[in-house]
Structure 1
Amino acid sequence: MSPANQTEKLNSGDLLSEQIPSQDSEEIRQTLHAVADRIVSGSSPSPVLAVGYRAGDLVEELRSRGVEAFAFPSGCVDRSESDSLRSSNRAEGPLPDGLPEQFGLVVAIDLPSRSKETVALMTELCGRSSRILFVSLSGQEAVCAGLLASKGFYRMSEETGEMALFAKTGDAAGAIERYEEVLRTLQARGAELESAKQKCQKLTAQYAKLQNDYLTVKREYQRATGSLSWKITKPFRAVKHLFKRLCDKNRFFRLFYKGLASLRNNGFRATLMRVKLSRLNKNDFKSYMKQHAVSSEELNRQKSVKFNQDITFSILVPLYNTPEAYLHEMIQSVLDQTYSKWELCLADGSDAEHSEVERICLEYAGRDSRVRYKRLEQNYGISGNTNACMKMAQGEFISLFDHDDILHPSALFETMMAITEQGADFVYTDEMVFEGQPDNVTLIHFKPDFSIDTLRGHNYICHFSSFSAELARKVGYFSENHNGSQDYDMVLRLCEQAKRIVHIPQVLYFWRSHPGSVASDVSVKPYCMVSAKKALADHLERVGLRGTVTDSTIPSTYKINYEIEGEPLVSILIPNKDYTADLDKCIRSIQDKSTYSRFELIIIENNSELPETFAYYDSIQKEFSNVKVVQWKGPFNFAAINNFGFSFATGEYILMLNNDVEVLTPNWLEEMLMFAQREDVGAVGAKLYYPDDTIQHAGIIVGIGNTAGHAHKGFPRTDGGYIHRLTIAQDLSAVTGACLMTRRSVWEQLGGMDEDFVVAFNDVDFCLRIRQAGYLVVFTPYAELYHYESKSRGYDDTPEKKQRLDREATRLRSRWKDIYENGDPYYNPNLTLDREDFTLR
């Protein structure tokens, strides 16, 4: 059939879709232009056959790009054709003679899918090309998917609206599988979108509420500040601010002001306890430093020790307007080191008014070649100046040192011992804070061994830290995006990459406290806390954890709200014998206060004697559909009872809970679940109070009382604890079974609790086995409950009970002999084992 006859037939046919747009639409021209670009940018198939409406226009676009192309009908290639011819082109098979037998690509433009002629044409086209691109100019997709599938063609692209590419494949099952996979992905994304939409709505509501609260507070503030009383009291406020400034400058005024603040926030009893502990600690600190002063004989011995490794320490000290006295003391403390292979890298960014810094450094450098000095063109900030030091370093290990502090003469020697004997590539020590002279000790920070969650709560590692040059090359320079907390950021990056982190439990660094220093008051540099939160957020991203970083209750401490995945079921196991009033208080506090609703309560009845107890069980199960009572018929065995209760649990997470607790924080389950979901965590414990608002449990220290004791027991509820440990989440050796969450998989891996520990220490043993399996045990202070302790079981106050307690304590010490001999890694060996108050031995 000739092209003219073909065109005439098409003109007389009725194949034109009612949706075909106007022939001169600029939008159509742009669409065809984009289609041509899409074809050329792909595999540039040749030759190309365009069929259907405006096929000639597309061919022109292709030919202008150097692509061999043909149109069917062919008449629309010639732009000299009449407008009526170009506007009414229809495609109807068979294809005319003279065209290539095979095409690299067929482009079908607005073919009516219901036409018999189209079906016939498509059948022929399927035999002439292995790829067919459908183009819609009408805004509707018109493809013969069924016909194409019967010919072995399946959709290969996710183009939407205007284009859809089909290709011939012999693997129909595979194509269907790919399609179904795409469909599943889209469904999942739809679910995610719906979830995100709900969260967005919730956040929008929260924002609206906060905005309303803000406006309310703003109105109240404006009303208060505009009142007569506010104006009258202006002189008194001025006096108060003046007094506070005096307090900041004078140590005694500062302590007095802090005391007043403590009285206001914590009350008289807690403040008195803090004052007593502070006095006791300061006296103990001074005594400790005197007792642990290194003799001249020991210093000489250290100087004579030969190590099996040749390591030079590059000590980095960025300088900026350093006071002369501090500078002399700092450099001299390095010269006094008993380990002699070191270099002191001094990068000086001081201004012109402090030229004495350069003069003093050059004097020392002239006397000792190990002292290396570099004058910087300008002050690049703490990070930039430290990086300048790092570029000067030539040693195998890097040590960080502040320009106004002092090193213990054995600092490098003990660090070298840790490197050679324990294979450490990152080492940190204990440190003390002093005012004026080093013998005026105000605080000693006795640190735990490496604890990632403690580190995420605050930079407890701090001084004195050393790391291998190889490790430094992996993590890079100090980040200028974290100025003020650049050391925190660096420590986090080092710990992510280090192979062996070693803590030396000796005070080898003396941190000077003076006005303007962070050691004196972190609030003097508030930007440090902003940088610290950014460092933590960056750390979470690097290690693949999702969460947000917020301030904790004490400045320079932080809280991470880890993202909870999904809404897993939590099975709460509560052993009970009588005492239904306490059980009811426990259950109702969970049901009424908990913001997390996906939980079940399994009450494990064991040997109750009162009829009203069983009547209560019936009523509570009728009242709450998520309460189930199961009956343990054996003798009391806390471990066995919980193992029995676990057999009825259906949740992915298991929470052991005493019947004599009462929930305080509504989001207590979320606070525990966010840690329990982490793959590296095996157990999570909560913060428990006695009814008088003193600490009952804030984690367990193994070794206290020759068995195990509760950290900070008896401290006021509002107390921050030793070095803020009551305000941050942290890793510990154990937590109490009175409120302990774990994953079902961990419970099953360990085989549950050891039933040889009938009453006591079964929770400690359980946690130690969790740690032995490679998991962390985390204490969070943000899940808070009252604990009325042992009401159901009673106390170990009879000879028989005391004997049983002794047997179980002996079993615990025997099983975990290494821990008792070497000490709890999360508790410093310099601290007492006689009490739970973190005082010195």
Structure 2
Amino acid sequence: MNFNFLKSPFSLFRYREIGARVRRAISRVISRVISRVRRRNSAAHESGRLLAAWPPAAHLAEQRNLEVLLPYRPLISLVIPIYNTPEIYLRNCLDSVLAQSYSNWEACLVDDCSPHPHVRKILQEYAQSDARFRTLFRNTNGHISTATNDGWKMARGEFIGLVDHDDLLWPNALFEVVSELNKNPQLDVIYSDEDKINDREIHSEPFFKPDWSPDLLPNMMFLSHFLVVRRRLVAEIGGYESCFNGTQDWELVLRIAERTESIFHLRKILYSWRIWSGSTAQGEEPAKPYVTSAQERAVAQVIRRRHYQAFLETGPIPNTFRMKFLPVQRRHLSVIILNLQPEFLDKTILTLAYRTDFSPTEIIIVGESNQQERILELRRQSVGGAAADATGVFNSETALRFVEIAPGVDSAGSPRATAEVGRWANAGAEQARGEYLIFLDVGLEALSSDWLTRLVGHLDHAGVGIVGTRLLSPSRHVLHCGYVVGNRRNGTASPYEGLPDTPGYMYQNFLQRNVTGVSIRCFLTPKALFNQLGGFDVSSFPRNHFDLDYCLRAKDAGYRTVYEPASVLISARKAPVPIQKEDLELHKKWDARYPIDPYFIDSNVVTGSL
């Protein structure tokens, strides 16, 4: 072979470049193959886990025997609007109803004037074979809201269950619902977890949901399927409105949630969405183009009905939204800065001065070294013109006060290595004159000037007792996105802590939602509630967990904690060091009451065994 072409430097360069391109191309092909195999294996593993959760025949037989022993056996009316459903999917759907281990049901089948003749034939076949199938054949096509209204109006049950014409009910679905109603007969709404199933009957994409979270619902329709609602409530609100076709269930639940708080989450998969080309379960984007518009109008109606002062914003993923709440009226706000590391105090002070569009009534600085001269010097500089555009702490109407804490000592009289932060916070709150209190750490910088306005706006809503936010490190790693409790966890931090800023499972870190607790590093609460609860419990939690304990006591008193992800704060300080004694005390006090966190989906559940 003639290698003379290699004598030219340019030719040699081209030869090497061609070789590099070939190697890169081969590497890309290998990577794609490996990725495809991994996805296939992952999907097979996930499908296997979901099938393992499918109730075995012996379990279903036991439920059928137990049904007669239930003292409360309400009739459940399954409302199934139908239009041109492929025969195999329609039969699978109706067979899944027949397979229920609970027998006191009826299925209200409403054909919305399907042109395909097989639909009427199949519905008549099932109605003739089992009288619990009741049919209605519409003469005109009214679309899904009208057909569903016809369904619940013909229903005779105390509750209605919503089923799509191409989906599957798990065989234990109704028994699980009725079992819960026997424990809590006052419930008005019950919803379960769900997954998806394709045309090869492979299960995938399980959706494990939080417990009832009223502050998440306007941002994301997380109830979905399986959804059971007391029929009386549907009748009271007039059923579905046809102008919201495509998002009719979300819009219905938004109105129902304004009439009842008796809403329960069954932590079991009881429903499978069918994935095919005509289904809304196919992909993240809506199958029909009018859905997004209907969703936006449905959430906008919530703002009008509830008289919110709010702007509607697009959410982080399709089919989600975010509300920017504005305070309905001027609120007197006391900012309490816990000066744990004086070298970082300037950052929080300057954030309040330059990156805050909500002026507090007063600033209270709590610490062993009060830094009075430093703060007064910052104010003098601003008043002198160095910061003419400053607001917040430098506003002439904002009072600036200091609370000096005596150094803590241990039982031997030596200074404690860790400050009793809870005692500091209580001391600041005792001096506060505002109707709202916000506790802030030092070393905080805001990414946007509306961070405080967004937080305060939530407290205008009935039942909201605490508001917190997303805390990131300077490298944009998660420091805090809500606390997690439960006896399966060793601590209270979210498992996302320390990871790069991530949306988390089902984008929960980027959505307004309810959480079990938030950090004292940014902790907003009404002064009246603070007094009602007796402040932070520093006898049990002097250094750690007093903030979470406060949130749990507030929850037991009927108040919610809200996480506001759009108010992002960058913290220069590291997370507090855990105190083992207080960790044990927290578990001892709360694990029996909250064995599983009601709002957080544990990654062990999502990625491990069901």
| TM-score, with length taken from structure 1 | 0.61
Matches within 5 A, 1:469-484: 469-484=231-246
Q: 1:763 maps to which residue?
A: 547
SS in structure 2 of the partner of residue 532 of structure 1? helix
Matches within 5 A, 1:269-308: 282=43, 285-305=46-66, 306=68, 307-308=70-71
> For the Cα contact (< 8 Å) 2:51–2:203, is it kept in 1?
no
Q: 1:777 maps to which residue?
A: 561
Distance 1:772 1:715, change over 3 A: same
> For the Cα contact (< 8 Å) 1:317–1:400, is it kept in 2?
yes
CA RMSD, Structure 1 to Structure 2 (Å): 2.9
How far apart are residue 532 of structure 1 and its match? 2.1
Matches within 5 A, 1:61-72: none
SS in structure 1 of the partner of residue 240 of structure 2? coil
Distance 2:448 2:201 in 1: 43
The partner residue of 1:740 within 523, 528, 538 is: 523
How far apart are residue 694 of structure 1 and its match? 2.4
The partner residue of 1:818 within 580, 589, 592 is: 592
Distance 2:301 2:527 in 1: 31
Matches within 5 A, 1:164-313: 282=43, 285-305=46-66, 306=68, 307-313=70-76
Distance 1:287 1:787 in 2: 43
How far apart are residue 481 of structure 1 and its match? 2.2
Distance 1:587 1:683 in 2: 22
User: Do structure 1's residue 585 and structure 2's residue 347 form an aligned pair?
Assistant: yes
Structure with greater contact order relative to length (CA < 8 Å, sep ≥ 6): 2
Higher alpha-carbon deviation: 359-368 or 699-708 = 699-708
Q: 1:576 maps to which residue?
A: 339
How far apart are residue 326 of structure 1 and its match? 0.9
Percent of paired sites with the same residue: 30
How far apart are residue 444 of structure 1 and its match? 1.0
Matches within 5 A, 1:490-505: 490-498=252-260, 500-505=262-267
How far apart are residue 678 of structure 1 and its match? 2.3
Give, as a single letter, the amino acid of the residue that structure 1 aligns with 2:291. Answer: C
Q: 1:639 maps to which residue?
A: 422
> For the Cα contact (< 8 Å) 2:192–2:267, is it kept in 1?
yes
> For the Cα contact (< 8 Å) 1:594–1:668, is it kept in 2?
yes
Give, as a single letter, the amino acid of the residue that structure 2 aligns with 1:695. Answer: V
User: Do structure 1's residue 832 and structure 2's residue 582 form an aligned pair?
Assistant: no
How far apart are residue 691 of structure 1 and its match? 1.9
How far apart are residue 291 of structure 1 and its match? 2.9
1:151-197 C-alpha deviation (Å, 9 max, x unpaired): xxxxxxxxxxxxxxxxxxxxxxxxxxxxxxxxxxxxxxxxxxxxxxx
Larger C-alpha radius of gyration, 1 or 2? Answer: 1
1:414-439 C-alpha deviation (Å, 9 max, x unpaired): 11111112112321111012333343
Q: How many residues align?
A: 549
Q: 1:529 maps to which residue?
A: 292
Distance 1:461 1:278, change over 3 A: farther
Q: 2:438 maps to which residue?
A: 655
Distance 2:228 2:426 in 1: 46
Q: 2:211 maps to which residue?
A: 449
SS in structure 2 of the partner of residue 344 of structure 1? strand
Give, as a single letter, the amino acid of the residue that structure 2 aligns with 1:692. Answer: S
> For the Cα contact (< 8 Å) 2:364–2:402, is it kept in 1?
yes
1:71-125 C-alpha deviation (Å, 9 max, x unpaired): xxxxxxxxxxxxxxxxxxxxxxxxxxxxxxxxxxxxxxxxxxxxxxxxxxxxxxx
Distance 2:307 2:609 in 1: 39
Distance 2:110 2:589 in 1: 53
SS in structure 2 of the partner of residue 777 of structure 1? strand
SS in structure 1 of the partner of residue 224 of structure 2? coil
> For the Cα contact (< 8 Å) 1:660–1:787, is it kept in 2?
yes
> For the Cα contact (< 8 Å) 2:372–2:402, is it kept in 1?
no
Distance 1:728 1:454 in 2: 7
Distance 1:376 1:295 in 2: 38
The partner residue of 1:601 within 339, 353, 363 is: 363
Distance 1:620 1:385 in 2: 67
Q: 2:18 maps to which residue?
A: none
Distance 1:706 1:566, change over 3 A: same
Distance 1:768 1:629 in 2: 30
User: Do structure 1's residue 616 and structure 2's residue 371 form an aligned pair?
Assistant: no
Give, as a single letter, the amino acid of the residue that structure 2 aligns with 1:286. Answer: S
Distance 1:812 1:461, change over 3 A: same
User: Do structure 1's residue 806 and structure 2's residue 580 form an aligned pair?
Assistant: yes
1:490-546 C-alpha deviation (Å, 9 max, x unpaired): 112222333632211000000112234322233433422222232233334444544
How far apart are residue 643 of structure 1 and its match? 1.3
Distance 1:763 1:701 in 2: 12
Q: 1:349 maps to which residue?
A: 112
Distance 1:706 1:444 in 2: 26
SS in structure 1 of the partner of residue 403 of structure 2? strand
The partner residue of 2:493 within 709, 731, 750 is: 709
Q: 1:699 maps to which residue?
A: 482
How far apart are residue 725 of structure 1 and its match? 1.1
How far apart are residue 755 of structure 1 and its match? 1.5
Q: 1:681 maps to which residue?
A: 464
Distance 1:287 1:587, change over 3 A: farther
1:223-280 C-alpha deviation (Å, 9 max, x unpaired): xxxxxxxxxxxxxxxxxxxxxxxxxxxxxxxxx9xx99xxxxxxxxxxxxx9999889
> For the Cα contact (< 8 Å) 2:75–2:106, is it kept in 1?
yes
Q: 1:753 maps to which residue?
A: 536
1:453-475 C-alpha deviation (Å, 9 max, x unpaired): 11121110010011222233222
Q: 2:5 maps to which residue?
A: none
Give, as a single letter, the amino acid of the residue that structure 1 aligns with 2:564. Answer: T
Distance 1:663 1:328 in 2: 56
> For the Cα contact (< 8 Å) 1:545–1:562, is it kept in 2?
yes
Q: 1:376 maps to which residue?
A: 138
Segments of 5+ residues of structure 2 without an aligned counterpart are 1-27, 382-393, 409-418
> For the Cα contact (< 8 Å) 1:712–1:838, is it kept in 2?
no
SS in structure 2 of the partner of residue 497 of structure 1? coil
> For the Cα contact (< 8 Å) 1:606–1:633, is it kept in 2?
yes
Matches within 5 A, 1:3-22: none
Segments of 5+ residues of structure 1 without an aligned counterpart are 1-255, 261-273, 797-801
How far apart are residue 282 of structure 1 and its match? 4.7
> For the Cα contact (< 8 Å) 1:567–1:598, is it kept in 2?
no
> For the Cα contact (< 8 Å) 1:655–1:741, is it kept in 2?
yes
> For the Cα contact (< 8 Å) 1:722–1:838, is it kept in 2?
no
Q: 2:275 maps to which residue?
A: 513
Question: Between Structure 1 and Structure 2, which shows a larger proportion of helix residues?
Answer: 1
Distance 2:532 2:331 in 1: 19
Distance 1:578 1:402, change over 3 A: closer
How far apart are residue 578 of structure 1 and its match? 4.5
SS in structure 2 of the partner of residue 414 of structure 1? helix
> For the Cα contact (< 8 Å) 1:318–1:346, is it kept in 2?
yes
SS in structure 2 of the partner of residue 819 of structure 1? coil
> For the Cα contact (< 8 Å) 2:173–2:271, is it kept in 1?
yes
> For the Cα contact (< 8 Å) 2:219–2:322, is it kept in 1?
yes
> For the Cα contact (< 8 Å) 2:485–2:516, is it kept in 1?
yes
Distance 1:294 1:752, change over 3 A: same
> For the Cα contact (< 8 Å) 1:653–1:743, is it kept in 2?
yes
User: Do structure 1's residue 339 and structure 2's residue 112 form an aligned pair?
Assistant: no
Q: 1:14 maps to which residue?
A: none
User: Do structure 1's residue 430 and structure 2's residue 193 form an aligned pair?
Assistant: yes
| TM-score, with length taken from structure 2 | 0.84
Distance 1:280 1:809 in 2: 39
> For the Cα contact (< 8 Å) 1:660–1:790, is it kept in 2?
no
Distance 1:737 1:276 in 2: 45
